[in-house]
Amino acid sequence: MTTTTRHDEYPSRATSEPSITPRHDPVVCPPSEPLREVLSPSSLLDYQRDGYLVIEDVFTQSETEVLRSELADLRASRDVRSDPRTVLEPGDQTVRSIFEVQRLSELFAGVLADTRLVDCARQILGSPVYVHQSRVNFKPALRGKEFFWHSDFETWHVEDGMPRMRALSCSIALTDNTEFNGPLMVIPESHHWYVACVGETPERHYEQSLRRQEYGTPDAESLRWLVDRGGIQAPKLHAGSVVLFDCNMMHASGVNLSPYARSNLFVVYNAIDNALVAPYGVDEPRPTYIANRDPSPIG
């Protein structure tokens, strides 16, 4: 375990007992320079309060069909399947996720730099942004596996060295997300609280956590405490719609028991002045295809 004299605003996996503390960072940040205002004041208030925001029909039907076709090509590629950026489902050889898709597809690289997304991230984070992480997630019909409850920031802080809560995720629905096909579930208002988890992080934890996460997940009592206050929502999305959610939002997704597959493109935007430092809880940071350490602004 790394020994450091740095002050850690968000310690986790360091004690035998979980804890819940208020976050120390704003949710919507004051701008560091003039930025385009693409979200309305009411939308910003909703995001500030709830921690997420649904934006309908960001991409047209024809755009979404092209993205789905590109996704099918990537998934079918033998080179992509054997690439370390590709994660398979636990227990079989089904593709679960593909990371750093901008390096594998010029089309997806263009989406990540699209001002329809980047300008929203800039306005919320109050800063130019860069891509911290990108991936596509698959939920095959009838057998797509779950993603357990977690705060992304907890992992990004402990295992990657993200200093502050100044990042957000953008999930682009490439297929309809319904209540039946394993949609994103969120706990509204949970982003206002930081849940410190228990259990020392194993070496090269990412090799297992990307398939099934066991460390950096909240305990049952902490989850109940959060849900008692904010409930659980599962935003329904038409293909082409987008949900933005705070880096500290507690979220999960269930098993896909429907006969319809679910596929989403994720991009994480981080403020350029929140660039990664040495991890706060492990000796070696995760690979750069999972956590980009080059804060070159995008868009």
Percent over 70 (pLDDT), the chain: 93
- How far, CA to CA in Å, does 163 sit from each of 122, 143, 225, 278? 18, 37, 26, 9
Q: What's the pLDDT at 184?
A: 95
Q: Is residue 269 part of a domain?
A: no
pLDDT digits (tens, 9 = 90+) for 134-191: 999 988 899 888 889 999 999 999 999 999 999 999 999 999 999 999 999 999 999 9
Least trusted range by pLDDT, from 1-15, 48-62, 223-237, 239-253: 1-15
Q: What's the pLDDT at 205?
A: 60
Count of domains for the chain: 1
Q: Is residue 276 part of a domain?
A: no
Q: Is residue 9 part of a domain?
A: no
Residues 279, 118: Cα–Cα separation, whole Å? 26
pLDDT digits (tens, 9 = 90+) for 239-296: 999 999 999 999 999 999 999 999 999 999 999 999 999 999 999 999 999 999 999 9
Residue 209: is its pLDDT beyond 80?
no
Residue listed under structure tokens 């090799």:
207
Q: What's the pLDDT at 58?
A: 98
Q: What's the pLDDT at 3?
A: 46
**Which two tokens mark 292?**
């980009």
Q: Is residue 13 part of a domain?
A: no
CATH number at residue 30: 2.60.120.620
Q: Is residue 12 part of a domain?
A: no
Q: Is residue 92 part of a domain?
A: yes
Q: What's the pLDDT at 214?
A: 66
What is the residue-averaged pLDDT of the chain? 92
Q: Is residue 96 part of a domain?
A: yes
Whether the CB-CB separation of 35 and 129 falls below 8 Å is answered with no
Host domain of residue 119: 19-168+192-264
Residues 172, 202: Cα–Cα separation, whole Å? 32
Which residues, in sequence order, are bridge partners of residue 270? Answer: 130, 167
Q: Is residue 130 part of a domain?
A: yes
pTM: 0.93
Residues 14, 7: Cα–Cα separation, whole Å? 14
Residue listed under structure tokens 């269930």:
254
